[in-house]
Chain A
Amino acid sequence: MRILASPEWRLAIITVAVFALMAALSPERFLSEGNLVSMAFQFPEFAILALAMTLTMMTGGIDLSVIGVANLSAVVAATLLASFAPAGIGTVESLPWLALAYTSALIVGATAGAINGLLVARLALPPILATLGSGLVFTGFAVALTGGSAVMGFPESVAWLGNSRMFGIPVPLIVFTLLAYALHFLLTRTSFGLRATLYGANPLAALYAAIDTSKLLLRVYVISGALAAVAGLVIMSRANSAKADYGSSYLLLAVLIAVLGGVNPYGGRGRVIGVVLAVLSMQILSSGLNMLQVSNFARELIWGALLIVVMLINTVDWSERRSKQPEVQGKVTGESS
């Protein structure tokens, strides 16, 4: 039973169980190659947002502006492509334009992240409030830029990021895998990751350990913003358009996946592998429910219920740990609130 004590193992079991359940309920359709491939195209966009959420939650923060950042970055890239790139150009001629658009989107994302970082680190605003306000501002800029309508009409090469395959593997899946590995490496193999985790576990201790917490938080939110921009570009490629209100349901989903993946929302604990497993189980559940003709509303219901149930299960474990080290736990929550 010791295997159940680790959230990652618990999740692996849940993922396999959900997969087996869906495969048993509708084997010929769920296990078809078409379905498996379409799942691999669907999840990377919100999974990348979940990675951004994971990183900020590790520091005891949260980034509620990811959707706003993703859409603003995509709208900027889309506007560049749609209004300045010559219409009807071939793939090769469109590449410089694509590079320009993607770079601008990443710069927009990183800048937005830097603004969040400054608000959290320099002004000492609670992350919920800072990213809530900035998220409205970013969404607002996207609305103001587009007048609220979708931006369309790109060169065909835009479709590559979201819709094509390399060596038979969907490109968005490759992008997600690389980013997930990069985040895993960053969190476990670099001093930045160690400091971010320490800050999340106990901000005061991090300060006393002579960590430049302002710089640390700034970097965390810049990375989060850049990840959101990548997600925005994938969404833009898949939708072949960009709009200020795409993916509004992804915010809850990103928080849900991070929490489901065993990231402690109070900070200091979380592993990328858990988040990846959570993504997989969510996508399997989502596709399976889709096949069983369950409505979108019921999916919302199940996500909400799942979020709370997972939190409940995780608390059972924490309370056991808490009873062993009451003082430490008390300090951690006291500082992060």
Chain B
Amino acid sequence: MKSVFNKQFWTRNETLVAVVIILFCLIASASDPRFLSATTLTDLLRASIVLGIFAIGAMLVLISGGIDVSFTAIAVFAMYVATVLTLGTIPSLPWYLIFTLSILIGAALGALNGLFIARFGLPTLIVTLGTLSLFRGFLLTFVGSERISKLPPGMRDFSRSMLARGTTESGNFYALPLAFAALVFVVVLTWFILHKTMLGRSIFAIGGSEESARRIGINVRATQFFVYVYVGALAGLAGIIHGSLGRMADPFSLVGLELSVIAAVVLGGARLTGGYGTVSGTLLGVALIVLVQNSLIVIGIPSTWQSVAIGLLILIGTGLPAWQAKRAAEQAA
């Protein structure tokens, strides 16, 4: 743990984002005292489940030196196909089996990304831009383009299970869905993979320098392939959670969210050049994006400015460290 008095601590992205979040909450609670309540907290936590799972996946890709914009299409594809398959075969399937199905579909689509990127060495942005429209186009053309609101009972059961629920003193109802546990699980699992396994060290290594990683004997292709399969599986999970919580399988949803997710990850300090990124930073980035998306109005900024706010946050949050690094390099030279 770095000391609070250390200069490095204050120039880290995580610290900057945390300070912005605290300032945001202070201003928000000053202008509207109801902001500080269990209801707001659980609403924000609920909003951060899907975004958070996506962000953890996107962070892993950034650490490995790539970028993925197709995960929202994978999520909506896996969610919709899993729902349609369940309804068409055994509608009474319990939720965890439907979830497994969605995760497997997501992993399979991720494997396709992995194949193009790891096997053929194509640029990650171009490949995932391509698969984004490939998956979405396939889903809407061949599977279906209708919203399904009559979900399998298993998914409805899941959306009704809560981790915590109750009523605040002022009489407002609050509830935290079971799905939040999935985010916690994903966070712990990813942290474990990144920091406690050889695989995690390999992901950092190929992001830092692919050639160096290859020369010290890391199987670059297998590692890259794993990253995209894992991200696909996470996307499948996020998709089915999104469908269950929204109580609707909507093939038009989610796609378009990818830029906000990447914004959250980049704000949290992960570098687009690879080799660096932290789980805690990513979660802080997600928290900030969720705050901006849901509560901008509370601090007196109209919601039409939301996209400007997120864009500026990305530019400042990434520009500041980049500028500092450039100055440091110039001073050293």
Contacts and interface: CB of A to CB of B under 8 A. Distances in A.
Nearest to B262: A132
A305 B121 contact: no
Interface stretch (B21-29, B39-47, B222-230, B310-318): B310-318
A130 B304 contact: no
Considering residues B132, B134, B138, B263, which has the most beta carbons from chain A within 10 angstroms of its beta carbon?
A: B134
A252 B127 CA distance: 11
27 contacts: A119-B319, A122-B323, A124-B322, A125-B319, A128-B67, A132-B259, A132-B262, A136-B259, A137-B307, A137-B308, A138-B311, A140-B308, A143-B304, A144-B304, A255-B129, A266-B123, A295-B140, A300-B136, A301-B133, A303-B133, A303-B137, A304-B134, A304-B135, A311-B130, A312-B120, A334-B211, A337-B65
Contacts of B20: none
B150 interface: no
A308 B115 CA distance: 12
Given A123-B326, A304-B137, A337-B273, 16 more contacts: A132-B259, A133-B314, A136-B263, A136-B308, A137-B311, A139-B311, A140-B304, A140-B308, A143-B307, A252-B133, A265-B125, A299-B137, A308-B116, A308-B130, A315-B120, A337-B65
Contact of B134 (A133, A139, A141, A308): A308
Given A307-B129, A308-B131, A137 B141 contact: no
Interface string B271-292: 0111000000000000000000
B273 A126 contact: yes
Contacts of A300: 133, 136-137, 140
Interface in B292-333: 302, 304-312, 314-315, 318-319, 322-323, 325-326
B287 to A, nearest CB: 19
A136 B130 contact: no
B263 A312 contact: no
Contact of A128 (B133, B138, B272, B315): B272
A62 interface: yes
A86 interface: no
A135 B137 contact: no
A166 interface: no
A330 interface: yes
The residue among B65, B127, B272 with the most chain A CB atoms within 10 A of its own CB is B272
Interface string B135-151: 11110110001000000
Shortest Cβ-Cβ A-B pairs, 9 listed: A301-B137, A136-B311, A140-B308, A304-B134, A140-B307, A137-B311, A133-B314, A304-B133, A297-B140
Given A123-B322, A144-B304, A62 B259 contact: no
Contacts of B65: 337
A133 B318 contact: yes
Contact of B311 (A135, A304, A334): A135
A259 B125 CA distance: 12
A240 to B, nearest CB: 23
Contacts of A136: 259, 263, 307-308, 310-311, 314
Interface in B52-68: 65, 67
Contacts of A291: none
Interface of A: 62, 119, 122-126, 128-130, 132-141, 143-144, 147-148, 252, 255-256, 259, 265-266, 295, 297-305, 307-308, 311-312, 315, 330, 334, 337
B315 A119 contact: yes
Given A133-B314, A311-B130, A301 B141 contact: yes
Nearest to A135: B311
Contacts of A304: 129-137
A249 B263 CA distance: 20
B273 A308 contact: no
A134 B308 CA distance: 9
Contacts of A303: 133, 137
B266 interface: yes
A124 B266 contact: no
Contacts of B309: 140
Nearest to A148: B304
B220 to A, nearest CB: 13
Contacts of B314: 129, 132-133, 136
A144 B308 CA distance: 9
B122 interface: yes
Interface in B61-114: 65, 67
A124 B302 CA distance: 32
A315 B119 CA distance: 11
Contacts of A308: 116, 122, 127, 130-131, 134
Contacts of B116: 308, 311-312
Nearest to B209: A334
Given A252-B133, A265-B126, A133 B304 contact: no
A137 B315 contact: yes
Contacts of A62: 125
Contacts of B272: 126, 128-129
Nearest to A318: B121
Contacts of A137: 307-308, 311-312, 315
B180 to A, nearest CB: 28
Contacts of B302: 144
B308 A141 contact: yes
A137 B319 CA distance: 14
Given A135-B311, A136-B311, A297 B141 contact: yes
B141 A295 contact: yes
Contacts of A337: 65, 273-274
B312 A301 contact: no
Contacts of B134: 301, 304-305, 308
A137 to B, nearest CB: 3
A129 B69 CA distance: 13
A322 to B, nearest CB: 10
A252 to B, nearest CB: 6
B6 to A, nearest CB: 25
Contacts of B211: 330, 334
